[in-house]
Amino acid sequence: MRALINFIIHNKHWFVFLLLEVISLVFLFSHNGYQKSVYFTTANDVVGSTYNVISGITSYLHLQEENHDLEATNEQLRKEVYEMRQQLKAMQQDSVKRLPALPLKYDVVSAQVVNMTLHKANNLITINKGEADGIRPEMGVVCSRGVVGIVYMTSSHYSIVMPLLNVNSKISCRLRNSEYFGSLIWQRGNADIAYVTSVPRHAPVQKKDIVETNGYSDIFPPGLPIGVVQKIGDSPDGMSYFLRVKLFANFSTLREVSVITNYSSPERRMLEDLTENPVKQDSVLISQEKQKQAELEKAEKMKAEKEKAEKEKVEIENIANTDTVR
Amino acid sequence: MNSIFFTRLFRLFILLLFQVLVFNHIHLLGYITPLVMGYMVVRMHRGTSRIAILVWGFVTGFLFDIFSNTAGMAAASCTLIAMIQPVLLEMQVPRDSAENLIPSFSTLGFWNYAFFVFLLMAALHSCFYLLDAFTLADLTLTLTSILGGSVLSTFIIVCIELLTQTKKEKTHH
């Protein structure tokens, strides 16, 4: 017994070492469950606001390029507006009245990048908007040139975005001209190159074809530009193409981004959840029933209150009338 | 005792500030980033309790992780070098040297000290980048980052050491 205690006292640093290593590895491997660990990241308020101050200072360094980008976007928008006006004119001359245009399906919240890494295997971006601004995990993030990534974790005022430049990122995409789809992945090394896999070999692919989002996932609306095909190669199994894509988004000077906040529809997500876990169906149906009932009750209550208020109004008016008559 | 604690706390603050604001933005050849905060562990003097070194190392790495979104990677690496620092130091110190010797050029000699720093930095970068890549597939890239990062941060630490030493001498005169 004494020998054991002596052994422990003599080697206590080994136990401390193992304990600290285990704590570190637990942090490393539990990082995927968000919310839980958001306090130990740059989405933490203290760290986030530190980076906010720093990026406020350094943002002046990139103003010129930013301006240049805005100029280019403006130019293109002006062109589009002109074209749209022309089209609108042509349509209005048409004798047939058309249906009013559908409302725009998605809103964006603009945010600024406050911290970012580019040269690791798992790169992440911190932006200065969070749950308080309506941002939730799994929303799409774009910049003026193209797709940036997907929101990964949120705190109240900051969010962490998993950019395309992350070995775990996988985004479904299509080729603009042929409509064949594939998925976009990234490999370590270049900050402006990604790869599209699983495009079938019979698809007519050419260099300089534009790769864009396909809208199958409910993260990005279809048609947002991602990049341009630079080199056409074969996948190791020879069954599909392996396309080298130059990304439109310039990550090394990225400052302003927009988060697409309401494209993903809760209804669709619920439906997909249902098909994935059929066990849940009953409970969901029950909760839906309950919700409906609650809504009905609420409506009745409101109706009753309204009637009551109207009655009171009528009574008051009557009293007023009788008063004026007197 | 207390003054040592506050000196270390101050050093931790300064190192972290420089690491996060300056060194994290260095990407030599596109991916070599020096992890200079390991200097915190390098400076631990001979005879410090091993548990104290471990805790300082862990805290340094953990704070770095929070600022760099690397969850546990730097904490694990810094704890590792905190474990081997006393062993390496014993191998480098000359005989009959002081019990509370602080590793530096003057106490170990230039090449011995540089070698000592390089070994610690190599361990730190190996652990960090292997955890980051978490695969042996892209080995050349990982090895380049490890080797480049170790050499670069050894160089930076040697520079820091030289700068602070000349400053001290100046204040003495």
User: Which chain A residues are closer than 8 Å to B125 by Cβ?
Assistant: none
> Minimum mean pLDDT among A58-67, A270-279, B124-133: which range?
A270-279
pLDDT tier for residue A279 given thresholds of 50, 70 and 90: low
Q: What is the rounded CA–CA span in Å between residue A28 and residue A200?
A: 37
Distance, in Å, from the CA atom of A49 to the CA atom of A236, rounded to the nearest integer, reads: 46
pLDDT tens digits, one per residue of A26-45: 888 776 544 455 666 767 77
d(CA A28, CA B77) in angstroms, rounded, equals 12
What confidence score (pLDDT) does residue A246 get?
92
Q: Hunting for tokens 């520079």 — which residue is that?
A: B159
| pLDDT tens column, A45-82 | 777 888 888 887 877 777 878 887 887 888 788 878 87
Q: Is A284 on the interface with B (CB under 8 A)?
A: no
Q: What is the total residue count of chain A?
A: 326
Asked whether residue B82 carries a pLDDT value surpassing 70, the answer given is: yes
pLDDT of A128 higher than 70: yes
pLDDT band for position A152 (50/70/90)? confident
Nearest CA in chain B to A31: B71
Q: What is the mean pLDDT of chain A?
A: 79
CB nearest A122 (choices: B57, B132, B138) = B132
Residue pair A251/A238 in contact by the 8 Å Cβ criterion: no
Nearest by CB: A24 against B31, B76, B133 = B76
Q: Is the pLDDT of residue A94 over 80?
A: no
Task: State the DSSP code for A132.
Answer: G
Residues B120 and B37: beta-carbon distance below 8 Å: no
In the prediction, which pLDDT does A203 show? 85
Residue A54 in contact with partner chain B when CB distance is under 8 A: yes
Mean pLDDT, residues B104-132: 87
Look at A119-133, A245-259, A271-285 and tell me which has the smallest mean pLDDT. Answer: A271-285
The two three-digit tokens of residue A1, written as one number: 């017994």
| Cα(B153)–Cα(B146) distance, integer angstroms | 11
Residue A48, φ and ψ in degrees, nearest 5: -60, -45
pLDDT in tens, A240-268: 888 999 998 888 888 888 888 876 666 66
Residue predicted with more confidence, B81 or A91: B81
Asked if A119 lies within 8 A of B27 by C-beta distance, the reply is yes
User: pLDDT at position A53, please?
Assistant: 81
Enumerate domains of chain A plus CATH numbers.
Answer: 38-163 (2.40.10.340), 171-248 (2.40.10.350)
Please report where in the chains the tokens 């160089």 appear, as a residue: B155
Mark yes or no for CB contact B33/A42 under 8 Å: no
Quickly list H helices, chain B. Answer: 2-21, 39-42, 50-68, 73-92, 105-108, 110-133, 139-172
Average pLDDT over residues A123-127: 90
**A47: how many CB neighbours lie within 10 A of its CB?**
23
Length of chain B: 173
CB contact under 8 A, A41 and B27: no
Sorted by where each begins, the domain ranges of chain B are 2-172
Supply the DSSP string of B119-163, one letter for each residue. Answer: HHHHHHHHHHHHHHH-SSTTHHHHHHHHHHHHHHHHHHHHHHHHH
CB contact under 8 A, A124 and B24: no
Q: Which residue of A47, A54, A120 is in closest CB contact with B66?
A: A47
Name the range with the highest mean pLDDT among A9-13, A118-122, A184-188, A310-314.
Answer: A184-188
Q: What are phi and psi of A35, to 5 degrees?
A: 40, -55
Provide the pLDDT for residue B123.
92
Tell me: pLDDT of A288 over 70: no
**CB atoms B79 and A21 under 8 Å:** yes
Q: What is the nearest CA distance from A218 to chain B, expressed in angstroms?
A: 27
pLDDT digits (tens, 9 = 90+) for B18-54: 888 888 887 777 778 888 888 988 888 888 888 889 9
Give mean pLDDT, residues B129-143.
77
Q: Do A37 and B71 touch (CB under 8 A)?
A: yes
Long-range Cβ contacts of A26-31 (<8 Å, 24+ apart): A26/B72, A27/B65, A27/B71, A27/B72, A27/B75, A28/B71, A28/B72, A28/B73, A28/B76, A28/B131, A29/B72, A31/B71, A31/B72
Answer yes or no: do A16 and B54 touch at CB < 8 A. yes
